[in-house]
Every structure is written in structure tokens, then in C-alpha cells.
Amino acid sequence: MTSVAKTFRNALLAATFAAGLSVPALAKDASVEVTVDTATTGPVIDKHIFGQFAEHLGTGIYGGVWVGKDSPIPNVRGIRTDVVTALKALKVPNVRWPGGCFADEYHWRDGIGPVDKRRVQINTNWGGVPESNAFGTHEFMDFAEQIGSEAYISVNIGSGTAAEASAWIEYMTAEKDTTLAKERAANGHPAPWKVPILGLGNENWGCGGAMSADHYVEEMKRFANFTRNFNPAQREGAARMKRIAVGWDSDKLDYTEEVMKAWSTHVYSWDIEGVSLHKYTVGGGWPPSRPSTGFGNDDYALMIGDTLSMDTLLKKQKAIMDKYDPEKKLLIAVDEWGAWLAPTPGSNPGFLQQQNSMRDGVIAALNLNIFARHADRVKIANIAQMINVLQAMILTDGSKMVLTPTYHVFRMYVPFQDAQFAPVKFASGDYAVGERKIPRVDAMAAKDKSGQVWVSLVNVDPDAGTSVTIPGFRTASGEVLTAPKVDSVNTFAAPSVVAPKAISGKASGNGVTIALPPRSVTVVKVSK
């Protein structure tokens, strides 16, 4: 590049950075400079954006988590040990349960007491299979405790009553000798549990009861009024139970608007702490039909473009919320997100089973980076779903278990939990296939509680490597996740095709340079 061109480009970059935008790099494989601003105090990236979602759906619970106490598959009180060990490494902050659509047909009393007396019902949403209710409140709380996580409980607004929801919270949280606390003790758990997050329904415009936004708001207010936490230690300050009202999904703007309007004039008897947003990466059309393996670069770019629209949706939801809540008292919970693809051939289509490729790893990283950039409002997120369903962390088949590329990304991102967001500036450049263009590179950075700076670098380009220079730092070390192909997957027979490897940078000029392989996610700690 000539010096005139360099001067022009630097001026362009400076102006663009001031506006918080990125510009295309000049050449397809040009190296990228990522400037990390550690002086600006950004918001904390709440650990709860790394939350998971476990619905009674397919083999997400039965087979994936719960095998029963008498199973030959190693387990602790019916919960499979291999899965617990793997999930502990993710430091899962919260698990959303029991749904999803299942939540609005769930009656908690069906899932307590002697297992052989529990009601067997049909899971009407997911495959029409019998639901034994063998996995109920005690089993879920045990699972959450075994993996070191917290509970995000969704109560049934669609087909349940406020009294039922209130009694469930009392059963879980009351510490005094109420009848329900005694019943909990008689069922094996004298100590109250913590319920830090409570969902007030789920997608109530659809499977949650086909309610108009106005109707939902009236129901939600009543439920918010009566769903008190019965434990004083879970009512105040940071420990206060957060109630999440149903907000937007990709085409239901009215829910967020009506919820916020109602909240802005709410009376003392009810309150909420957040509003949800659901967004699946589908690549267009319904039902989801994009294959989870055997796709080309065009399909890859289509899915990446779709996933990046999460940013647009968040901006729209934030604009609505800012109108009614400029002080940002309410949070956004993106409590369902991830890739929703065509079902694995031969599987029950109602079980939403799909493979998970390197592309899913890239999708996970890009979304987590978007949530971090919106950390001022986005305080909770739950990928759909934890095991065997949609964009899963883990796939199981009988006693076999395999970790997916998405699992590895979540593990590599652990240092970002509760770290302080540090703005980055970079010129992403474009990756183009046909008419379709997507940003070639993505970057996100944060400072952890010890002051260590961590940087995530995503090379979205499926074919070309690139190098990134971070000025002001001299060392970089961490892990990189890449794969032979963008649709490479881990299988029970070949579980380590997509697995993280060590990576480090080299001091160069006034910074440190890291060579990023194509289709890769890298997380490094950088030092001066």
C-alpha cells in the first residue's frame, strides 16, 4: 500500500471506529488489526449469557440427562455421570427448564413424589411420546446442583393457574414450616432451593396459548403479582429472583412493546426484571430445512448471515425497551437461540435431533460476541438446547457420548463469564460467495476479575486463513477450534475431529500477531 493510500485508509478507519463501525479490509486475505480498548470501562458480561436450556423434548432429558437409578450407564441418583462431568467444565451458570412449549403444559405436581405413582402423559408438542414425569423438580434441582448450576424455572401460564405457579415456587423456596415446605422435606429435600430466574410463560403467542399481546400482558401481570419468592434471602438485591416476561421472537414485536408499556405504569403489586427474546438461526423458511452436514459455502454464508441478524433484533428490542426504561432497569433474556436445522435422517422429526458441525461452533461464537457487545441489557441467554436437541453441547446414544464443536466454544469462552467488556476496533473485511457477503472476521475482548485481558477471534472465512495483530500486547496464548471442513462433525466413532488445540502469537512490530486458520474460533489471553 502506498503511503497516501495508508493515510487515507487510516483516516477512514479512525472515522469509522469513532462511529463504532467496521469497514471492509482492502484485500480478501489482508491481515487484520484488532485494537483492544482496555481503558474504557465496559459493562460486565454476565455469566448468565452462557446459560443452557433443557426441555422435555426428544432425548434432551430422558437418555441425555436422566437414565434412572437402575441404569447400567454410570449415574448418580439417576443422572448420568459422563454428562455431568462434561458439563461441569462449562461452568454452566443456569439451566432453563422444563420448557419451551413443554412448560405451558407442565403441572409440577405430576413430577414429585414416588416415581411409580407419577402421572404418565403424552408429550403433545414433541413427538407424541409418553412422558413419565420420572424427571421432576427434585431430579432437576439435583442435576443443577451436580453440574454446579442455578435453576431458571419456566412456569405454566398457558394451561396452568397463578395459584399453581405460586404453590410451585413456595414448594421450592419456602424455608419455614409451611405445608408445602414440609411436603418437600418429606419428598427428600428439607432445605429450600434457590430459584434465581423465573420465566412467566413461553412463546404465549403460539404454543403457550395463542394469546394476543394484550391478553398475554393481562395474564403476565397476574402471574407476576402472585409468583413471589417465599424465601426472604431470594427477594432482595442481587439475589432477588428475576421474573422474565415473554418478549419478542423474530416477528412478534408487539409482545415487547405491550409488556414494556404495561411495566412503565405498573403498580406496586407486580413487577418483572426482564423481557425475553427468541431467535433461531434457520437460514429462511419454516419448517427448518437446512442440512446439518454436507452443505457448501453458499449455505454456510446464508446461515452465518442469518445468525448475525441477532444483532439487529437486539437493537430493535433495545430501542423499544429504552423508550419505556431509559435507566435500563429491565434486562433482556435471549432465552432461546441457536441453529435449528433439518432433523437427522431417520430420527423422529419431533425430537429435533441434528448434527453439530464446525459451522455451529462459529455460530455459537458469533452470537456470544453479539451478546457481549449488548452486555448493558443482555444479562441472560440460553442456547437451545443442552443435550441431543437442536444446537446441542452433547450428543448421546445409549452409553455413548460425544462433545460437539458448540461445547468446545462454550468451554473456551469460560474466561468471559463475568468479565468486563473491553471495546475492540477492527476492519472485518468481507467473505463473499456469489452475491452473498458476510464479515470475514469477528473479535471481542474482556478483562477478567484478575485484570487479565482475553480476546476472542473468529475467522469466518471457510477457505482462507488470516492473521490478526493486536497492538500494545506482546504475548498471546490460548486455544483454537478449527476443522478439516466447515461441515466437519464429531461422531461417536470419531469424537475429536473438531477439538481445540493450543495456539500462541508472536511479538511483531508494536503488537502480537496470531495466525488464524480458516473456519476457526480462537480465544487467547494477551499480555504486554
Catalytic residues: 203, 336
CB of 289 to ligand AHR, least distance (A): 16
Stretch 331-370 residues interacting with ligand AHR (CB under 6 A): 336
| Angle ∠(330,332,334) on CA atoms, nearest 5 | 160
Q: Which amino acid belongs to residue 496?
A: S
Q: For ligand AHR, which is the closer residue by CB, 390 or 481?
A: 390
Please give the distance of CA 73 from its chain centroid, rounded to a whole number: 28
Helices 297-324, 253-264: inter-axial angle, 10-degree rounding = 20
466 part of the interface to ligand AHR, by CB under 6 A = no
Are 459 and 519 spatial neighbours (Cβ–Cβ below 8 Å)? yes
Q: Which amino acid belongs to residue 241?
A: M
Give the C-alpha separation, 491 to 395, whole Å.
Answer: 9
Give the C-alpha separation, 501 to 511, whole Å.
Answer: 23
Q: For ligand AHR, which is the closer residue by CB, 146 or 202?
A: 202
Three-state SS sequence of 257-308:
HHHHHHHHCCCCCCCCCEEEEEEEECCCCCCCCCCCCCCCHHHHHHHHHHHH
Q: For ligand AHR, which is the closer residue by CB, 101 or 330?
A: 101
292 part of the interface to ligand AHR, by CB under 6 A = no
Piece in contact with ligand AHR (CB under 6 A), picked from 114-122, 382-390, 410-418, 493-501: 382-390
59 part of the interface to ligand AHR, by CB under 6 A = no
Q: For ligand AHR, which is the closer residue by CB, 181 or 383?
A: 383
**Which cell goes with 33?**
488489526
Number of residue whose CB is nearest ligand AHR: 100
Q: Which of 46, 150, 170, 203 binds ligand AHR (CB under 6 A)?
A: 203
Q: For ligand AHR, which is the closer residue by CB, 111 or 199?
A: 199
CB of 338 to ligand AHR, least distance (A): 8
Residue 34's contacts (CB-CB under 8 Å, 6 or more residues apart) are 424, 425, 426, 443, 445, 455, 457, 468, 469, 470
Q: Which of 86, 384, 446, 489 binds ligand AHR (CB under 6 A)?
A: 384
**Which cell goes with 193?**
432451593
The neighbour count for residue 25, using CB atoms within 10 Å, is: 20
**Which cell goes with 19?**
462511529
CB of 57 to ligand AHR, least distance (A): 6
Q: Which of 22, 202, 307, 382 binds ligand AHR (CB under 6 A)?
A: 202
Q: For ligand AHR, which is the closer residue by CB, 255 or 426?
A: 255
455 part of the interface to ligand AHR, by CB under 6 A = no
CA within 13 Å, CB half, 268: 0
101 part of the interface to ligand AHR, by CB under 6 A = yes
105 part of the interface to ligand AHR, by CB under 6 A = no
What residues make contact with ligand AHR under the rule CB under 6 A?
A: 55, 99-101, 202-203, 336, 384-385, 390
